[in-house]
A and B are shown apart, each in its own frame.
Chain A
Amino acid sequence: MSIDPSDKIGEIIAAGRERVSVARDEVNRPMIHHLCDAMEETNPIHLDPEAARAAGHPDVVAPPSALQVWNMINPSDPVIESDVDRAYAILAECGYPKVVAVNCDQEYDRYLVPGDVLTATEKVEAFAGPKQTGLGEGYFITTLTSYTDQSGERVGTMRFRTLWYNPEKRTS
């Protein structure tokens, strides 16, 4: 049994309420080193200040793909319910309990340097469905997170799209 979640999710998108989180730690060299060690990232702009300056950066820079890292939820943080979580809960309650990530689209306004303190602002941006997929009938939902620095300037955005589906509603 499934219910059409469109009205409830539409209300959330229209309201546009955002979850705002400030990074606990500034962008910093030890975490950049951890990232590079784990990924075997050897681009010297992340590791060597001179090489970074030669490439036009003021200091070593974080890999741009790490945009999301600085505002990840800390395991010990209290759970702050947001409209993104509410939208996901609505989809599950309406009979689409399984989730799979589909797209992640990051755009970078500038590279991040040690000392940057990021604020992430997240909301539900778009919603589409029901669609028949290989996994079953489901809905696609897209969140938009904007990242700003300590001066309030935007440094990047991330659109993250997930499919919430019902594996019992498969046509094939």
Chain B
Amino acid sequence: MSTVASTQTLEQNQNPAGPGSVSVGDTLPELRIPITATLIVTGAIATRDFQKVHHDKDVAVAAGTPNVFMNILTTNALVNRYVGQWAGPSARVGRINIRLGATNFPGDEMLFTGSVESVDGANVTVKVIGTNSLGPHVTGTIELTIPTEEETA
């Protein structure tokens, strides 16, 4: 998938949220995701969502939208990726609760920002917002556990 890789700005977090290092108010590194037809179509099919509005522009236009648009499963996957990239491989995601807003169309860009809402031992709640040129596409609350130093020792 090098063609997809080359179109996306990867801001790989070199310092994932390590044991014991997470505090309320911490911000996640920003992540910019170009919204391409490739991402929308491959995301829809990889999530086994064959609704034509996600891969056939003619059908999408006939349905009253300007183009194909991102499906919800792809949005969920990108939220998952954004938080996981920050939290690191030892984290366990327990809940992804999203509110949907402005549609993701090809040619746009979505900017993810996030911050830590609460920390209780290993239990961390993160709020993320993915905004495109039309407004917030997704607002999410993610509950996860990040092992503490005692647990990983």
Q: Which residues of A contact B (CB under 8 A)?
A: 31, 34-35, 37-45, 51, 54-56, 63-66, 68-70, 72-75, 100-108, 111
Contact = CB atoms under 8 A, between A and B. Distances in A.
Given A37-B1, A75-B50, A104 B76 contact: yes
Interface stretch (B22-30, B41-49, B120-128): B41-49
A107 B100 contact: no
A29 B69 CA distance: 27
A39 B43 contact: yes
Contact of A39 (B72, B78, B93, B97): B78
Contacts of A72: 47-50
A65 B80 contact: yes
A40 B81 contact: yes
Nearest to B49: A72
A69 B100 contact: no
Given A55-B90, A65-B76, A111-B92, A38 B10 contact: no
Interface in B33-65: 39, 42-43, 45-50
Contacts of A101: 72, 100
B142 to A, nearest CB: 10
